[in-house]
Structure 1
């Protein structure tokens, strides 16, 4: 759902575990743990956001990039269809959004396309630059950009991007989606390089959240849309217009990229890039041996890597957060809506109690070296204008948790230390947690023990951790075995949370539905929200409301750090959110430094 991730959009993140004593009682119950946030921001500030290397770069160098994961990448290599961070790390090298962005994540005219917005803010006119070509030499044209909307809006589309509010609000999109029109009336082709898109209403997210990825119509347009997601042209031989192009793929394991000499931004510095999957258990040794040059590094392992001589760290606060979600219902695919029909966690006091039971501050401070810190809302502080640190945040307070459960009627009737439900029946919580190296199992045990400490009987689904792909399959399909799940979102660069929590979007994995939630989300991207103060007030209220309803428990905000071999030059920490940077990255020697 990465930063990484959908760049403008959100993505599923790999949830790495951490080592923590299940009996930790190290901190009290501060309800608003803002001090930890300040400490984490201070710690991440110790890392530069650009790698330091003043040596002369060599020509035609090669770089090895580690995709740090304990599971193969799925290989859905198209922005309209992929859903997980691993695939986004492959995509960043060979395909690009049409627009670059500034520090506030707003579109600029410095990328592959320029734009103009109409006076009423309802129509955007996009012009693709003349020298922008697909890696097979064909020009990127307006029809390619239009085609991406025709695919996403088609009734046979099997991905999840149609849930985006901006896409749905394009004039004529609804009629096209329902099969009543062959084209989208709000999208007009002006010439081969120019098109306009008109929306029903002005939306302040237009210049941060508009879908900005073209699809090569000449290359994949003959494939039925219902079959596109599984086609070889998506999985084995995809093309893009980025600085590199795919030469060879070993499915799930590695990708060899070669320089795209036709890249519109000028000749990329590297001749080749090798991407390979590296297990978190061995990433430190791979870096020390010089087997890889760049890796998004597991922050829980930072202490072991600190002081390494042959590589350095760059970092930033991530556009992401970890959370624990409740399965409150199911997704009705035929109607395209979430249905909140699971009564198990209907009482929000139970959800709140499970949040109060978790000592997230100890997790961030002791295990993640301050590089993850308690999440206090569903908008991370990487959006400083919109993040509300005082949003009725729930901190660690086990006594409060017990009191809420008592009030809700969950009491230990048979005196075995575990609570029964209000009807006197055993209350069993089936918890889905993801694998991820040595630390994943202790993390899951910590959550389970934390809930048992307040009298709730929780255990792992099927008695074991689930790997990334099977984990999200169970979550997406609302598997009946799952009551609660631990996951993470990369938010993308658009602050609008509608695409994750709207009642009619499939990424609302908790299946939470309420009129107030829908209204607040709608207000947040309404024409009135062009007024910054108004939008701020709406999102403050939404964060406060979600912390009260607690359909998901925000657990940790994330700092992202990357380990970079000393021979790498010009790499910025935001490479996962801005793939344009890869054309500028070089190396200063033929071989990596090793300890």
Structure 2
């Protein structure tokens, strides 16, 4: 399962997946319905012969130190994923439509009739300590996800489709009955038994089986509740990808050297150094050629677009920013989200008005030269016919916003509107830190909300540092009424992992019978019928736009400046794992 993550900057960033369609009609890897200057860019650098050796310098943009949780099961941020990418590798490779093939570290065989998935790791796929990846490693990753002591954010109701998963999660069983190891723990195969087969299981990112592995032999002595803080996770992790971690400067940089046991062969590079840089220093770093690979900032595109000796490559990622409204809390004992009917933001009219007051199109045009663009639904256009092309979303309309509030009883008393019960209304808005344009963008939106009489205030009077932002979201900080966040999506379009009743990552905490019903239908056996599944996706998008618990905001082109002496770098899905470059094939030109 490709990982959905919170994004750390406006316009959308994190971290997983790329452009093409999962189970729908496909679009090409760097393209989108939007047409502007970035369309001239390729998704790959020119292919040339590469020499052996060299140190590649990669920049990761963040305005706060990375947390350094080197565990696919426990990490939740895009930055952690980015700094770990030279070592990280998924079990499965895909084609450019995210369909799982047999070219990766493991193979997948589905049996719809008996409701099983057989996953077989190839012989020679080894951890960086030389140990073969085993069946127990695969089972152990599910135990990390499901054991409540790890507090893993990635556990979801989708995984409970595995026989015995819920019983293990609830502490009623010591093992997961639905995971079979026919050749024993030291074998290379597991058979997963499902309650139901799901239509997206042929694609990476489907959410019903995990696509990463955890080294059981290395971590087995660490208690589940100590895993996330363990040095074996934070300082000395094991991966089976092309590189292994050689040096860590906590929160600042990671140095990777080749994994001599890598199953595909010897990487071309001698070393990869990934360093974090601030948003405000990014453009100058591109112009000064301080890094070999660095993502450009769309709001600063004009400053860097004429830089010499770089290849600009681009993609539209499976990501989006959104406005979320806190309407409940996560109940850890029940393992589900619980709505509060008396929550301040639990009024559809209020949420809709906030959406219509946002001038997203004007902001994106003003600050990014069109490299960012408003999105009308929570299903990206890259998902082909699953995307509802007739959806309008929340375009700028102050007149409509005012009319909605008037009709709902949010009357003005002086400058500000009050609640329908006559009580004062103050809305605390949490937005993330970003580059130098982040503050004026957020202040612009606050002024737009002020225009319709809503007393919206920036939480704490300033943008929130990212790690604090994530902590407040995950722990339902009562001071937060609404927030601006973002997702990097899995490459199978089901929204279950972000917005279901039983996922901790449903940060608005909204739960309705209709939402549960629609998501169940999207992932039901009936949805093996593509036409039926498309219909249910469209119904869900219409419902979510109407209810406005989550308001889609915008997406953006990701543009990377790559040293023109680099070859083998590509953003195509078939050349990536976890949405990141397969670094073993990257090298310097001879």
**TM-score of the superposed pair, with normalisation by structure 2:** 0.92
1:207 paired with 2:208, answer no
Q: 1:92: which partner in 2?
A: 85
CA drift of 1:276 comes to 0.4
1:449 paired with 2:444, answer no
Matches within 5 A, 1:150-549: 150-165=143-158, 167-191=159-183, 192-208=187-203, 209=206, 210-341=209-340, 342-413=342-413, 415=414, 417-549=415-547
Contact 1:325 1:484 in 2 (8 A): yes
Q: Determine the C-alpha separation between the residues in 2 that align with 1:357 and 1:423.
A: 23
Q: 1:46: which partner in 2?
A: 40
Per-residue displacement from partner, 1:190-247 (whole Å, max 9, x unpaired)?
A: 2211111110001112233231111000000111111111111000000100011000
Contact 1:324 1:555 in 2 (8 A): yes
The 1:137–1:372 alpha-carbon spacing in structure 2 relative to 1, beyond 3 Å, is same
Contact 1:65 1:295 in 2 (8 A): yes
CA drift of 1:151 comes to 1.8
Q: 1:12: which partner in 2?
A: 6
**Unaligned 5+ runs, structure 2:** 13-30
CA drift of 1:40 comes to 2.8
What secondary structure does 2:40 align onto? coil
Per-residue displacement from partner, 1:473-506 (whole Å, max 9, x unpaired)?
A: 1111111111110111001212110111111111
CA drift of 1:17 comes to 7.2
Per-residue displacement from partner, 1:437-473 (whole Å, max 9, x unpaired)?
A: 2111111101100101111111111111111100111
Aligned-pair Cα RMSD in Å: 1.7
Per-residue displacement from partner, 1:17-40 (whole Å, max 9, x unpaired)?
A: 79xxxxxxxxxxxxxxxxxx9763
Per-residue displacement from partner, 1:253-293 (whole Å, max 9, x unpaired)?
A: 00010011211011111110000001111112222222111
CA drift of 1:45 comes to 2.2
Contact 2:154 2:504 in 1 (8 A): no
Q: 1:26: which partner in 2?
A: none
Per-residue displacement from partner, 1:138-197 (whole Å, max 9, x unpaired)?
A: 1111110011112212232211121151x1110111222222222111111022111111
Q: Determine the C-alpha separation between the residues in 2 that align with 1:206 and 1:295.
A: 34
Q: Determine the C-alpha separation between the residues in 1 that align with 2:310 and 2:169.
A: 50
Q: Determine the C-alpha separation between the residues in 2 that align with 1:576 and 1:206.
A: 17
Q: Which runs of 4+ in 1 moved over 3 A?
A: 41-44, 574-580
CA drift of 1:578 comes to 4.1
Q: Determine the C-alpha separation between the residues in 1 that align with 2:11 and 2:34.
A: 19
Contact 2:69 2:233 in 1 (8 A): yes
CA drift of 1:580 comes to 6.0
The 1:14–1:228 alpha-carbon spacing in structure 2 relative to 1, beyond 3 Å, is same
Q: Determine the C-alpha separation between the residues in 1 that align with 2:267 and 2:524.
A: 41
What secondary structure does 2:559 align onto? strand
Aligned residues: 561
CA drift of 1:80 comes to 0.1
Contact 2:89 2:577 in 1 (8 A): no
The 1:362–1:123 alpha-carbon spacing in structure 2 relative to 1, beyond 3 Å, is same
Q: 1:78: which partner in 2?
A: 71
